[in-house]
Amino acid sequence: MDLVPNLFGSTIGRKLIMAVTGLLLILFVIGHLVGNLQVFEDPDKINGYAHFLQSLGPTLWAVRIALLVVVGLHIWAATVLALESRHARGDEPYAVRRWLRATFASRYMRWTGYVVLAFIVYHLAQFTLGYAQPDSFKTNLAHYTMRSDYHVLGITVVRAGTEVLDVRTMVIRGFSNPLVSVFYIIAVGLLSLHLLHGAESLFQTLGLKDDRWAAGLRLVVTLGCAAYFLGNLSIPGSVLAGILR
Ligand code: HEM
């Protein structure tokens, strides 16, 4: 059987692409949040962590390119599936709205998706490329000198005394602008709603949703998304509240 054309050329194949790319993106955003929460620890932590990621060189580029491909496939599959289902139910203005019984999160997948995409573009411009707030971009700040070693899985990856970029100060200065912080909070709120419906659909597509544990699954996914939102909110929120300085 020719698996690749089937994956791209059939509805179930595209749903599978949505589910698998969605799962990879969920793993990325959770990993990114866990890494970012080090901002609440000693400055050595988040700065050592960012330096370690930058030092990965070609591996970092491979991950970046893989992420771009995954995001591209996710958007492509979502678009084709949406066009297909619109075509299947016809486009008359008075057509019965099938989503009447759907949840808020599921109805607005497309719109929450657009906002998340716009957020990612802004976020890269801000923290990766330095276009959005150049004065507080990491390469325009004084270097930070590591006071202790930074370890990953017990291995020393950044030594005390190394001069690294001050990512912690960049993040705090960035979020000192209330407009930026509020935009982040709204975007991660919508991302959490996107994940809420996405995670449930993912279980369904992969055949892991069963009537017996559907309610339990919904509870676990809801709590997980709420925790994800609060974790992300805590960073700009703490800067705005003056707790993180
Ligand atoms: C409060 C929330 C967040 C904070 C504080 C934060 C912080 C950062 C920082 C500091 C960087 C640059 C790292 C460096 O200097 O090497 C970065 C990069 C990035 N962030 Fe976030 N982030 C947040 C939320 C998100 C979310 C929700 C997403 C995805 C939807 C995301 C996606 C990315 C991506 C794709 C990169 C680029 C990584 C690279 O340069 O290769 N971030 N983030």
All domains in the chain, ordered by first residue: 3-92+102-240 (1.20.1300)
Among 25-34, 74-83, 206-215, top mean pLDDT goes to 25-34
* Ligand 1 neighbour 25 (Cβ under 6 A): no
Distance 183 CA to ligand 1 centre (A): 14
| pLDDT for residue 77 is more than 60 | yes
pLDDT of residue 70: 98
What proportions of the chain, in percent to the nearest 5, are helix, strand and coil?
A: 75, 5, 20
* Ligand 1 neighbour 244 (Cβ under 6 A): no
| pLDDT for residue 60 is more than 90 | yes
pLDDT by residue (tens digit) across 123-163?
Answer: 999 999 999 999 999 999 999 999 999 999 999 999 999 99
Calculate the average pLDDT of the chain: 91
Mean pLDDT, to the nearest integer, of 45-66? Answer: 97
Nearest to 200 by CA among 81, 111, 132, 104: 104
Q: Which residues pair with 156 in a beta bridge?
A: 151
| Three-state DSSP state, 163 | strand
pLDDT of residue 180: 96
Find all residues with CB under 8 Å of 116, minimum gap 6, and list them.
187, 190, 191, 194
pLDDT of residue 56: 96
Residue 150 φ/ψ, nearest 5 degrees: -110, 130
Q: 16: which DSSP letter? A: H
* Angle in degrees, CA 67, 70, 74, rounded to 5: 140
* Ligand 1 neighbour 17 (Cβ under 6 A): no
What is the Cα–Cα distance from 245 to 175, expressed in whole angstroms? 10
* Ligand 1 neighbour 141 (Cβ under 6 A): no
The residue with tokens 């597509």 is: 205
| pLDDT for residue 69 is more than 90 | yes
For the whole model, what pTM was predicted?
0.92
pLDDT by residue (tens digit) across 185-208?
Answer: 999 999 999 999 999 889 888 888
What is the Cα–Cα distance from 169 to 6, expressed in whole angstroms? 49
Q: Which two tokens stand for residue 215?
A: 């309610």
Torsion of CA 133, 233, 110, 207, to 10 degrees: 130
Of the listed ranges 55-64, 107-116, 168-177, 233-242, the one predicted with least confidence: 107-116
Q: Which one is predicted more confidently, 95 or 14?
A: 14
The separation between the first and the last C-alpha atoms of the chain, rounded to the nearest angstrom, is 58
Confidence of residue 7 (pLDDT cuts 50, 70, 90): confident
